[in-house]
Amino acid sequence: MQNNAIMQYKQQAVSTMSKGEQLVLLFDEALKNLHYGSVMLKKEDYATAEKCTEKCKRIFTYLSSILDRKYPISQDLYQLYYFANQQIIRASVRREAALLDELVPLVQEMRETWAQAEKLIHMKK
């Protein structure tokens, strides 16, 4: 019963967020799973690592799918998301945590960029 209430609360919290806040949340989730996936690869817990990398791949696939292709920056973002997915796949296949670790600064930078953009939008309102 309590878990159901927590899930409802989380769903409501996400549904009331702005698109920018939702993007930042997605990047936070990707970063969490990159870190945890790396730790699990180092511990040779490949099943758990796979769950983490799958979550990351789904996030970057989703981010790619929502791009509005009429803007030139969309192609650049697509290339970044594509690279992230390729790196995650390589890490999974090779079982190399270092490949996930190398991806973290890029994802962190993307997250910070979206967070700054969201702040600027709120400042203009």
pLDDT at position 3 over 90: no
Domains of the chain with bracketed CATH: 23-124 (1.20.120.340)
**Residue 12: what pLDDT?**
63
pTM of the model: 0.86
- How many alpha carbons fall within 13 Å on the CB side of residue 103? 31
Between 1 and 9, residue with greater pLDDT: 1
pLDDT tier at 68 (50, 70, 90 boundaries)?
A: very high
Q: What CA–CA distance (Å, rounded) separates 61 from 101?
A: 19
pLDDT bracket for residue 122 (50, 70, 90) = confident
* pLDDT tier at 66, thresholds 50, 70, 90: very high
Directed axis angle between helix 19-42 and helix 97-124, to 10°?
160
Cβ–Cβ < 8 Å for 31, 101: no
Q: Which residue type sits at 82? A: Y
pLDDT category, 93, cuts 50, 70, 90? very high
